[in-house]
Amino acid sequence: MIDERIEQARLLLVAPEVRHSPWLTLGAAGLAAAGALLMAGVFVLGPGVRFEDPAYMQGSGYLLPNG
């Protein structure tokens, strides 16, 4: 009786074999990259895009799209 329980306990201590999928690795890398882009606040808009404060630009003679 005790021998059976010891054998059952030994079977429970054996770690199951885990097979890693390359798709899981690719998905984790994509999720990490997307999170990094969102946290950094990176916007890919294209060349020549500038952001300037409209209140600062109001009296400087630049033409603004809305007046």
Q: Quote the CA–CA distance of 36 and 30 in Å, as a whole number.
A: 10
Q: For residue 63, give the amino acid letter.
A: L
Q: Return the pLDDT at 52.
A: 72
What are the tens digits of pLDDT across the range 9-50?
Answer: 999 998 888 888 999 999 999 999 998 888 776 666 666 667
pLDDT at 59 over 60: no
Q: How far apart are alpha carbons 52 and 63 in whole angstroms? A: 12
